[in-house]
Structure 1
Amino acid sequence: MSDSAPVGAGAAPKPSPPAPDGSLAIRGGVGGISFQLEELLRGAGQLDEMVQQLLGVEEEARRVQDELGPYIYGSYDTGCDAINAVAESRKELGRVCQELVAVSASVRASHRDYVEAEARNSIPRVLGLEELRLSGSIWPFGRELTHNLATLAFPFWAGSHDVVRGVLESPLLPDMRPRPVTVERMNESIEVIEPSMAESLRRLQKLHARNDGEIEVIRFDNKGSASWMVLIPGTQPDSPATNPFDVQGIGEALGYDSEEVVPAVGQALREAGAAAGDPVVAVGHSQGGVHAMNLGKNQAFLSEFDLKYVLTAGAPVGGITTETGISSLHLEHVQDWVPAADGRMNPDTKDRVTVTLTDEVRTTDGEDPGIGPGHDQENYAAGAELVAASHDESLLASSAVFAGVVGTGGVAKVTRFKLERAPGRSSAVQPASPPTVRDTKTDAGTR
């Protein structure tokens, strides 16, 4: 008795989204739908190649059939049988080719339908409506409305490089364009470092609290070879205009591909001792995550350093595409509107994983909520711990790349650098006013 076919055998293949992993909603990576579809499309391409091979065999069978024709007169019965057998083989080859073409076309049609469906489904996320729905029971209505209106409005100018530049290059904003950034070494220390994603984000939180435009470069000894981590803080609004991570820095990151910050990061790496070709991991929160991702598309930076991995937390990076082969993990939270502020969904690819934290978070009574508890860095550090404990195949693969660069930790060299932006025209020192000439006669008459 033959084995029965499995349920669904012969049906068109259907990609399936990964199941939620506790409070983590995971999209992308090797377990993501897009990669499944990429594999299906790759299979469809192989089917097309097989069809071409079968057509070659069919052509060869036709040639054999033609060459058998003269022999029919010497042995009619056997000659006819041979010709008929070859003709049936050609017919069967044609039938198989038609079926393979139909399967290939079905896979491609499924891919097209999925892409269109995803585009429609992404609209609530792009407009921030999903955050509005999911945060409804968390914040007071006024804060919800404010944040989500900001999310709705921000894409109109942040979603396009040209629009951002058009705003920042207005004559009314003479100091908003990127200005040269200098790098100053602040200090260097030897520390015992745990190179986990969670601890990296906690170090980044302490760096951000300094509020002075500093970045941190860490040198790891990974099995006898040097590897590096760069920590880039988020927006530091209450700082001098010379701090490249102030509010103006958002414009440079989104509109100018971090054209001044990226070279400064490269200089910091060189001054810390990084050599050409050394592997690098970049970690950034909020605005810092945008700068970190821009490292992965800057050809000058990539020609010198081997950027392997980018970790972002609460960063609007959907519009940034890094070079092929650079892995990235993006942590977002349903109560954090900032990741959606560029109006773009993060691409769902083999090397790019987006993890949305769905747990409910609150601001401790008496604390300043800032732009909301979902954007808090400790919240993202806790999420990174859940990522490390997950058995999801996309997260396992992504975490393995991160660990492969930084190693197991231990003694590491930590160097802090201060980045400083050149003063703008409005902040430049103004010429001194001419001295006032006193009228001594008048003075004497009034005493």
Structure 2
Amino acid sequence: MNRVEPAFALIDCNSFYASCERVFRPDLARTPIVVLSNNDGCVIARSYDAKPFVKMGEPYFQIRNTLRRHGIMAFSSNYALYGDMSQRVMTLLEGMAPALEVYSIDEAFADLAGMPGSLEALGRQMRATVLRCTGIPVGVGIASTKTLAKLANHAAKRWMKQTGGVVDIRDPERRDKLLRALEVGDVWGIGRKLTEHLAEMGIRTAWDLAMADPWTIRKRFSVVVEKTARELRGTACLSLDDEPAPKQEICCSRMFGKRLRELEPIREAVATYAARACEKLRAQGSLCKKVRISIRTGMFNPAEPKFAKGVICELPYPTDDTRLIIRAASDGLELVYREGFAFSKAEVLLLDLRQPGEYTPDLFAVQKPAAVERVMGVMDAINARWGRGTLRPASVPTAPDWGMRRELMSQSYTTRVDQLWRVGG
């Protein structure tokens, strides 16, 4: 029986946030674009033609003149649009690969082992299909391991004109040529600090890391870096994760659209963040036993008094009940709130997460009411059908004046009927 050689593909959307904005603004096809963080704070995404002029993380208020001088268009983050476009891309890819691992909002690994025909041709078909059906350009890297597929994808986008956006390095000769051409910092999981430590050992290219002794790498760094080195040599150590592991913590944190001094608007914000965190909690089927609530003032204005504090609140039993978690977060807020400060941010962190059946309840403790699961299920079903916030706790406002400042946001072209894309007059 013939052994099936492993084959992975990494499909990564090019400048995803910026590309989503361009899909519905074809007039910006040749205009550089940057996308800003919450409250239009700093740059979190750049189109390829904006990268020479703007660095990631630069504050918007400092670079407005630079953007204007170079004709760069800025957009506020439109997460509803980006999430919907991501789902469309992933749905297309799922129809062309036997198994898919959605790694992030803009990239996915596909298991192509045993697929007939040319995998490079399949990669080009994936790229063409996604572009035709969504307008989003992607790069495709194909290799015998996930780490090499990441590297092949990097090469596909770096040398787009020569590669056409698709690179297959399953051939050892092509693989080794690429490893010699790329710096070790280009390897998946090798950050700046680790790059510096590897350079001290004379490891400066991806090829150097692939040729390094695995046991020495493991002893000096970690088993993770050892697996990376082995994967670069073509030994598959990472499998495809069809279902991501449940998160051990769930956080919802936002900057307010303006400074808040009074307790009640901060309480509204905390309730809103807690409700969103509970949606994520139920989406992964987990229960929460502890909630941490924290607030802080702005930390960079020397004229403003500084204050930051947080507290952990214990819940009576593991739960996914939005109402109970909001109540606990509100109680915690009263413990950390101080008058006389202008608060800029609040955070709700769900801790001690467990799956149902992973804990033994106390015989004499308060138990989770049986009706909670039905109530939360109905609320999630209504919101899934009619839109988030259709049914919500009374403590969560609809249009608060402290909401995020997004003055440059594009329309919700795919998620709101009143903002659908219009063509023609």
TM-score range, shorter chain: under 0.3
Indicate the structure with greater helix content. Answer: 1
Higher relative CO (CA 8 A, sep ≥ 6), structure 1 or 2? 1
Q: What is the TM-score with the length of structure 2 in the denominator?
A: 0.23
